[in-house]
């Protein structure tokens, strides 16, 4: 019967599909003991283009060390990486070992998809910097859900000639937020508002470096609407009104503000040692006048970014996946990766290597050494529970305050309220 056949076809079609992405809470065992063997998949985040030989060598070394293992390396583009992981996680196709950042680990751990390494790989804990190991802990949950991989922090670049034109001492760039605000207002005033000092609105990291308490200790509610938070936003509003903050800052992305710095429209911009090469190539005049200083901080601690390597809790090859995740992040392999690109190892003692302590007269080395030094007491100011949606809420409310539509206090109250609501909805 055609109707029955059609109905059967539809049921047959819909039933298996409806199972897709149903998630579940079976996080499986955390026992990773046993023979290291079998096929595993390792996913990185936009690293193939520049580091293909390094990762191919890494995989070959691991397979040689553990005969009977086979690692399939896949790389995903930077754009939409979280969406790719979302699709894989929802579809049950998450790779066995995945390159993640702490904010990506949090929802995966809550869904029971990230292996608790405090249980499955506790023996490796002492190999890493304590702060780095703790960076993948999730408030409200027991355990650590990814091996710390490379750390990064960036210096702040500034345009010496713009500083000089404004009558500022180019050899004494601002170090604290107070100094930054004074210099920025001076620069805007002397250039008749043509030169802004910054091109971005304050981010959650800025609130952290200013000394604002971002969340309560239990990690159950945000708290950046305190007196200090309001003070920071009020000062930014003053900068915006004086054109010390670029007029397009409200819609800026890191890329667009980087371009503003390249063209001399803004005087300061955060970056990394990698940027020096770009300045040399794309803006030789700027490169001649480039100043390098530490991140602005009023807490004495700079912000660091942490990358992690997570093990899929539902992998069928737990011993091999844990062994490989550890292998990628061990001291020797992190050090060899750090020598290929401007990143810093998260393993204990690695930052004392002469590579991170001895000057050779080049700017690249100077930036590397300064960054390595500041990393020793750096903090990852981005709360791991701070999702993309929350970042948008903060940016939008900050923008409203800068435009004068609401007071800084009201804007931060609204942002905290919205972020708390999203936090509760995350479960």
Partner 1 sequence: MPSSSGTASPGKVSAGRASVVTLPTGDGDGNDGGARSVAAVARVRRQLPTSPWLFAAPGLLVVGIFILYPFVSTVVNAFTDRRTLIPGEFVGLANFRELLHDEMFWIGLRNSTLYVLGVVPALVLLPLLLALLVQKNIPGIAFFRSAFYTPVVASIVVVGLIWVWLLDERGLVNSLLEAVGVGRIGFLSDQWLLLLSAMTVTVWKGLGYYMIIYLAAFANVPRELHEAAAVDGAGAIRRFLTVTVPAVRSTMVLVGALSSVAAFKVFSEVYLMAGPDGGPAGEDTTLVMLVQRTGTGLTGRVGYASAISVVVFVVTVALMLLVLRADRKEDA
User: Residue 236 corresponds to which tokens in the numbers above?
Assistant: 């930014």
Q: How far is the CB of 244 from partner 1 (least distance, A)?
A: 15
Q: Segment 368-427, which members bind partner 1 (CB under 8 A)?
A: 387-389, 392, 395-397, 399-400, 403, 405, 422, 425-427
Burial of residue 370 (CB within 10 Å: 0-12, 13-18, 19+) is: middle
Q: How far is the CB of 15 from partner 1 (least distance, A)?
A: 11
Position among 50, 220, 263, 332 found at the interface with partner 1 (CB under 8 A): 263
From residue 66 to residue 105, what is the string marking binding to partner 1 with x (rule CB under 8 A)? ----------------xx-xx--xx-------------x-
Nearest 5°: the CA angle 79, 82, 84 is: 80
Using the minimum distance from each CB to partner 1, give the nearer residue, 33 or 425: 425
Residue 354's CB: how many other CB atoms inside 10 A?
A: 6
Using the minimum distance from each CB to partner 1, give the nearer residue, 36 or 106: 106
Using the minimum distance from each CB to partner 1, give the nearer residue, 207 or 240: 240
CA–CA separation, 215 vs 230, rounded Å?
15
Using the minimum distance from each CB to partner 1, give the nearer residue, 1 or 49: 1
Using the minimum distance from each CB to partner 1, give the nearer residue, 245 or 351: 245
Classified as helix, coil or strand, 268 is strand
Q: How far is the CB of 129 from partner 1 (least distance, A)?
A: 26
- How far is C-alpha 320 from the geometric centre of its chain's CA atoms? 27
CA–CA separation, 14 vs 189, rounded Å?
65
Using the minimum distance from each CB to partner 1, give the nearer residue, 89 or 375: 89
Q: How far is the CB of 387 from partner 1 (least distance, A)?
A: 4
Segment interacting with partner 1 (CB under 8 A) among 116-124, 156-164, 251-259, 313-321: 251-259
CA–CA separation, 71 vs 73, rounded Å?
6
Using the minimum distance from each CB to partner 1, give the nearer residue, 70 or 86: 86
Collect contacts of 248-251 with beta carbons under 8 A, ≥24 apart: 248/199, 249/196, 249/198, 249/199, 249/200, 249/201, 249/402, 250/201, 250/399, 250/402, 250/403
CA–CA separation, 393 vs 399, rounded Å?
10
CA–CA separation, 269 vs 257, rounded Å?
7
Q: How far is the CB of 11 from partner 1 (least distance, A)?
A: 11
Q: Segment 1-60, which members bind partner 1 (CB under 8 A)?
A: 1-2, 5-6, 9-10, 13-14, 17-18, 21-24
Segment interacting with partner 1 (CB under 8 A) among 40-48, 154-162, 227-235, 244-252: 244-252
CA–CA separation, 386 vs 363, rounded Å?
34
For residue 252, state whether it binds partner 1 (rule: CB under 8 A): yes
For residue 234, state whether it binds partner 1 (rule: CB under 8 A): no
301 contact partners, CB below 8 Å, separation of at least 6 = 209, 377, 378, 379
Q: How far is the CB of 325 from partner 1 (least distance, A)?
A: 19
Using the minimum distance from each CB to partner 1, give the nearer residue, 36 or 201: 201
Please provide residue 50's backbone torsions phi and psi, each rounded to the nearest 5 degrees: -105, -20
For residue 191, state whether it binds partner 1 (rule: CB under 8 A): no
For residue 250, state whether it binds partner 1 (rule: CB under 8 A): yes
Q: How far is the CB of 261 from partner 1 (least distance, A)?
A: 13
Using the minimum distance from each CB to partner 1, give the nearer residue, 6 or 60: 6
Q: How far is the CB of 188 from partner 1 (least distance, A)?
A: 15
User: Residue 124 corresponds to which tokens in the numbers above?
Assistant: 């490796």
Q: Are strands 38-45 and 69-76 parallel, antiparallel or unpaired?
A: parallel
Q: Segment 104-163, which members bind partner 1 (CB under 8 A)?
A: 104, 107-108, 110-111, 113
Residue 397's CB: how many other CB atoms inside 10 A?
A: 25
Q: How far is the CB of 34 from partner 1 (least distance, A)?
A: 28
Strand order in the sheet with 290-293: 268-270, 156-159, 290-293
- How far is C-alpha 136 from the geometric centre of its chain's CA atoms? 12
Burial of residue 255 (CB within 10 Å: 0-12, 13-18, 19+) is: exposed
Q: How far is the CB of 399 from partner 1 (least distance, A)?
A: 4
| Interacting residues with partner 1 (CB under 8 A) | 1-2, 5-6, 9-10, 13-14, 17-18, 21-24, 82-83, 85-86, 89-90, 104, 107-108, 110-111, 113, 247-248, 250-253, 263, 265, 387-389, 392, 395-397, 399-400, 403, 405, 422, 425-427
């Amino acid at each position: 019967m055609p109707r029955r056949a059609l109905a059967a076809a539809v049921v047959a079609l819909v039933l298996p599909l409806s199972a897709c992405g149903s998630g579940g809470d079976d996080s499986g065992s955390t026992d990773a003991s046993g023979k290291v063997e079998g096929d595993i998949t390792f996913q990185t985040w936009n690293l193939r283009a520049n580091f293909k030989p390094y990762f191919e060598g890494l995989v070959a070394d691991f397979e040689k060390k553990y005969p009977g293992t086979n690692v399939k390396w896949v790389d995903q583009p930077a754009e939409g990486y979280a969406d790719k992981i979302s699709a894989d996680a929802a579809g049950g196709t998450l790779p066995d070992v995945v390159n993640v950042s702490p904010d990506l680990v949090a929802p995966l751990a809550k869904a029971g998809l990230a292996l608790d390494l405090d249980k499955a790989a506790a023996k490796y804990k002492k190999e890493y910097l304590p702060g780095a190991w703790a960076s993948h802990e999730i408030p409200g949950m027991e355990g650590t859900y990814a091996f710390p991989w490379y750390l990064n922090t960036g210096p702040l670049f500034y345009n010496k000639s713009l500083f000089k034109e404004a009558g500022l001492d180019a050899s004494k760039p601002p170090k604290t937020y107070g100094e930054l605000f004074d210099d920025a207002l001076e620069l805007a005033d002397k250039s008749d508002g043509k030169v802004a000092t910054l091109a971005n609105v304050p981010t959650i990291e800025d609130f952290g470096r200013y000394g604002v308490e971002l969340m309560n200790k239990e990690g159950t509610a945000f708290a950046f609407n305190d007196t200090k938070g309001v003070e920071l936003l009020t000062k930014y509003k003053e900068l915006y009104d004086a054109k010390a903050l670029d007029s397009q800052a409200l819609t800026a992305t890191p890329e667009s503000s980087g371009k503003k710095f390249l063209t001399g429209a803004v005087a300061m911009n955060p970056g990394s040692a990698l940027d020096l090469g770009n300045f040399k190539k794309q803006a030789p005049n700027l490169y001649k006048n480039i100043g390098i200083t530490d991140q602005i901080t009023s807490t004495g601690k700079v912000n660091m970014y942490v990358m992690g390597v997570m093990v899929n809790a539902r992998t069928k090859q737990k011993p091999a996946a844990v062994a490989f995740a550890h292998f990628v992040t061990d001291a020797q392999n992190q050090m060899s990766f750090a020598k290929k690109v401007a990143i810093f190892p998260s393993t204990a003692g690695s930052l004392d290597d002469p590579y991170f302590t001895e000057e050779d007269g080049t700017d690249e080395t100077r930036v590397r050494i300064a960054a390595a030094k500041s990393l020793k007491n750096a903090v990852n100011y981005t709360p791991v529970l701070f999702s993309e949606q929350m970042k948008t809420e903060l940016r939008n409310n900050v923008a409203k305050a800068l435009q004068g539509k609401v007071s800084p206090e009201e804007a931060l109250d609204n942002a905290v309220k919205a972020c708390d609501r999203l936090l509760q909805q995350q479960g």
